[in-house]
Every structure is written in C-alpha cells, then in structure tokens.
Amino acid sequence: MLKYSGQIRLLVAVDCIILGFDGEGYKILLIQRGFAPEKKKWSLMGGFVQPQESVDEAASRILGELTGLKSVYLEQLHTFGAPGRDPVERTIAVAYFALIDIQKYEKQLSKEYHAEWFPLKEMPELIFDHSQMVEMAKNRLRYKAALHPILFELLPEKFTLPQLQALYEGLYDTTFDKRNFNRKLLSTGLFVKQKDKDKDSSKKGAFFFKLDQGKYLNNFQAFLKFIPNPEKFLVP
Amino acid sequence: MLKYSGQIRLLVAVDCIILGFDGEGYKILLIQRGFAPEKKKWSLMGGFVQPQESVDEAASRILGELTGLKSVYLEQLHTFGAPGRDPVERTIAVAYFALIDIQKYEKQLSKEYHAEWFPLKEMPELIFDHSQMVEMAKNRLRYKAALHPILFELLPEKFTLPQLQALYEGLYDTTFDKRNFNRKLLSTGLFVKQKDKDKDSSKKGAFFFKLDQGKYLNNFQAFLKFIPNPEKFLVP
DNA sequence: GCAAAAGTGTTAATCTTACACCCATGC
DNA sequence: GCATGGGTGTAAGATTAACACTTTTGC
C-alpha cells in the first residue's frame, strides 16, 4: 500500500503529558526510560502509532497501558517535528496532555514502566524535547482553565471550595481572595452543594460540592473568566 | 538510520489553511488537485515533510511554493491521523493555518497549482478531511481573535476603523455597534492615527490608522476582550 | 440638496475588586 | 479557651452596553 512514491516515511510517536492533582499540588507522571540512549533518564510516556489505529487512539492506548485508565481527559497539544529531536531516528511526536485525579487512580499505575509522580515544580530533566512539551502543556492548561471549567477533571467527584481554590492558585502560582473566588465560581451555577463536609483538612470542616453534570457538559464551552487579570498569567 | 525496529513508518504531510481578507470578506486559497484520486477536486495546499526539514519548515516551504510569500503568519493547528483519511496510503497530516492580506499579495500566486481564492462561505467541497480542517481553523481564529490582536495579519499596513469593523464582523458573522467597537479597539493603544484618509469607500472618507509595531509585538499576548459576549461565538 | 458613510458622548447597569469579621470545631 | 481554617457582605470604581445625532462630501 505504498503509493506516494519517492516520499520518505517517518516514525510517528505519541507522547503523553499526564498531569494530576492530589489535593496538595500539581504532579506529573514520568517513566524511567528502559533502553539506550538516555537509559534511566526520565521521560514522558510515549509510544509509536500502530498501523490500524488513529493518532488519538494511540494516545488513549498509551495512557491506558501506563495507568490502566479509560475515559480520562485527553487533548492533543502540539506536534513536534524537528529533524534531530530523537537522536536514534527521525520521529515526529504528537504530544497529548491528560488530566487525572491522582487520589482516585494512584493504585492502578503499571509497575512495568517505573512510573513515578513528580511535583510539577520539581520535575527532573527530561529526555529529548520533552521539557518543552511540558512547558507548552502548562501554558495550554493555564490558558484553558482561565476560560473553561476544565480543572474539575483533576478533582474527585466531591470537592470543597478551599480545594478548588488551591487548584487554581497552584496552577497560576498566586493567591486569590477567597470571597471573590467563591462568589465567581458559584455564580457559574455549575456546583451543587452537598450536605456533608470534609472534616479532614480543618476543624470546622468545609462543605462538599459536586459538579452539576448536565450543566458542566453543556457549559464547558461557556467562556467564563475564572481568574482575574488573565493577561498576567497567560501565554497564547 | 532505521533503528527503532519493528515499527512502521508513515507519510507525514502538511496541509495549509490559507485565509485571507480582501476588504470585503474572508477568502480561502484552494488548489485543484492535479492527480488521482479526487483529481480536479478542490483541496488545501499540502505536501510531504522532507528528510532534512522540520514540520514547521515544511509548512513554510509549502506556503512559499504556492504564494511566494515569506514571513506570513503561520500557526500549527492540529494533527489529523485517522488511518483512512487518505485513501491512497496512510498519511498523518499536520494542519497549519496562515493569515494573509490578499490585496498585498494577490499577484504573486503561483500559476502552477491552479490556485483560486474562494469566499469562505462559498467554499466548495474539499477532498479527504480538509473541510474538517477548515472548520477547525475558523474556530481557532475566532477564539484567538476574541482575545488577541491577531486579525491585523489580514490587513494592509494602513487601514480604517470601518475596515477593521468589517473584519471582525465578518469573522463572527454578526454586527457590532460602531461607537463601542471603535472605543474598545482604540483603548488598546495599539493604533496610530494617520493624517490621510481612505476616500475609496465613502464620500466623507475614513482616517487611516497604522499599528504601533512596538506595542503590537509586546502586547500580542495581552489578553483583551475584543468582542462582546465571546461565549456566544467561541468553540474551545 | 441629498444620499451615504464617518465620527462622536452620555447614561444606566453590570461586573470587579478590595477589604474584615464571625463561625465552628478539635485540641 | 484558643488556634485553625471556613464562611460571608458591602461599597467604590471600572467596565460594558445601549442608544441618536451631526459631519463631510460626491453626485
């Protein structure tokens, strides 16, 4: 089935930037590369696109192999195609980023790949152009989260307002006024207050909220200003 | 230099969505495919990534071959990788979109490809998944133009406020109040009023403006709300 | 002199921000 | 009883949106 003669064919890989939140801060899931070159160095989880699967399917498959997760938020980020980016052989990398709730899935991580969660701020040096991919994923997430309710992909079903605020503050590495923050978030109407409280992180306890799933799915495209002064934080 | 054994290699193509504005409306530059399958059907300008060039370079090269243009706004859009998208042979397509000022460059179009500008709203059926690519490019442009001063890539050096308004109204297929529109745009401080007027499109004539290049380059990332109620128009 | 398009200000409503105190509880 | 973190309201300022008339000039 090779019919465009005279053209070269290239390896096409998928690399996944897997970001998580554990209630404390952002983490990234990395694997220790098991083969040369750069053996033992840390790397994004990746793999080659197979003959019968789409690139999107390859990304899902690779994410599933590492974490056992299906139906995780997964979005194509960017394609990296410099000729020398993989020294072994020219490879085009399509980068995807995934958002997962670490607490929910921690135990499902495959042992096979020596995967480890790193605090995003203490990420080790990565192979090839993977650091650049992570940087781009961070920017994309900041951009998107300023406008769309995407960060809920990182939270458990039930969450508290202080947790939510920590999630936003961690992403933008800043602090927000909790009165204004709560008012803005609640005004979206996306949340349903629960009767029970999270008593783990304070004496008084903070009420749990759940997403109103119907509104969430219908309002994802809603263009909301979740953070003040977005221009300070965003890179287009 | 084939060292990742056992993996298949794929054709990697670049397809360019070339959008222009001619003072009247948005246009898209298409070529008539010169070979089977789908010969004579309309198509985006594309080509294969060559051994020594990056994917970005391939996009620039392909754009240059068709239009003779260098230093045009060109941004990677998305990678399309379904197995059957090109019936001839499996090909991964990295789509880019370009913005150009038609009036400036009209005459440089290469004859070689039977290229033609179509009003974006009267675009013919395209081969493969190219229509989907165009749809995505439109959404991306709408999204980006609502927040960043990107549409100036479509205008000549000197432009008038009514032209600018037509540019925005055309993109969102709506109308804006000209008092509010002018005030909002001018409040960005990105424009320098000229002494001369454009007398072609009205009797009274409209003053020309130029971009303040310094501010434009420094403020591109500025996060401005160029259109009211963006949530009505945007798809994330 | 009139048709056609350019240009210009004000007001009301809404949204955003800054800011400080009380509440509930575990220890 | 006190330390810790959760929860709430208001007022001033800024921004946005709605709205109509005058100006210029080519014909």
Any domain includes A2: no
| φ, ψ dihedrals at A122, nearest 5° | -120, 35
**Among the three residues B121, B146, B171, which one is the final residue of a domain in this structure?**
B146
Same domain, A110 and A16: yes
pLDDT in tens, B35-60: 778 888 999 999 999 999 999 999 99
Asked if the structure places residue A66 within a domain, the reply is yes
Looking at residue A117, which CATH number applies to its domain?
A: 3.90.79.10
CA distance A2 to chain B (A): 6
Which residue does chain B place closest to A147, by CA atoms?
Answer: B236
How big is the CA angle at B164 (ends B159 and B165), to the nearest 5 degrees? 150
Same domain, A44 and A136: yes
Q: Are residue B51 and residue B128 in the same domain, yes or no?
A: yes
Chain A: nearest CA to B51, how far in angstroms? 7
Instruction: Please tell me the number of Cα atoms within 13 Å of B26 on its side-chain side.
Output: 24
Residues of chain B with pLDDT > 90, as a percent, come to 67
A74 and A162 housed in the same domain: no
Strand C CB-contacts below 7 Å: A 177-180, 183-184, 199, 203-205, 225, 228-229; B 160-162, 178-180, 182-183, 197, 201-207
Domain ranges, residue B140:
11-146
| Angstrom distance (rounded) from CA B18 to CA B16 | 6
Q: Give the pLDDT score at A231.
A: 58
Whether B28 has a pLDDT exceeding 50, the answer reads yes
Distance CA(A8)–CA(A116), nearest Å, equals 37
Tell me: the pLDDT tens digits for B208-232?
999 999 988 887 776 566 656 655 5
Could you tell me if residue B6 is inside a domain? no
Q: Can you give the CATH number for the domain in which A183 is found? A: 1.10.10.10
Helices (H), A25-174: 55-67, 102-105, 130-147, 161-172
Residues B153 and B142 in one domain: no
| pLDDT at residue A8 in the model | 95
Give distance CA B179 / C1' C9 (Å): 10
Domains held by chain B: number: 2
Domain presence at residue B1:
no
Say whether residue B230 is in contact with chain A using an 8 A CB cutoff: yes
A136 in the same domain as A155: no
Please indicate, yes or no, whether residues A30 and A142 belong to a single structural domain of this protein: yes
Task: State whether residue B91 sits within 8 Å of chain A by CB.
Answer: yes
Closest B-chain CA to A95 = B79
**Confidence check: pLDDT of A233 > 90:** no
The answer, for A217 touching chain B at a CB cutoff of 8 Å, is no
Q: Give me the residues paired with residue B42 across strands.
A: B32, B126
Does the pLDDT of residue A226 top 70, yes or no? no
- Cβ-based contacts of B147 with chain A (< 8 Å): 236
Q: What is the pLDDT of residues A28-39, one digit of tens each?
A: 999 998 777 888
User: What's the burial of A173, exposed, middle or buried (CB within 10 Å: 0-12/13-18/19+)?
Assistant: exposed
pLDDT at residue A144 above 80? yes
Does B126 lie in the same domain as B157?
no
User: Quick one: tokens of A123?
Assistant: 């990420």
Cα gap A71→A126, rounded to integer Å: 27
- With beta carbons under 8 A apart, name residues in chain B contacting A51: 8, 83, 90
Split at pLDDT 50, 70, 90, the class of A236 is very low
Q: Is the pLDDT of residue A227 over 60?
A: no
Q: Of A124, A146, A168, which residue is a domain's last?
A: A146
Mean pLDDT (whole number) for A146-155: 91
Task: pLDDT band for B236, please (50, 70, 90 cuts).
Answer: very low
Domain match, A22 and A132 both: yes
Average pLDDT value over all residues in chain A = 89
Distance CA A122, CA A183 (A): 33
- Write down the pLDDT at residue B136: 97
| Span CA (A164) to C1' (C20), Å | 23
Residues of A in contact with B230 (CB under 8 A): 223
Q: Which of B128, B146, B164 is the last residue of a domain?
A: B146
Q: What is the pLDDT of residues B158-184, one digit of tens each?
A: 999 999 999 999 999 889 999 999 999
Q: Does strand D come within 7 Å of the CB of B178? A: yes
User: Which residue did the predictor score with more confidence, B19 or A110?
Assistant: B19
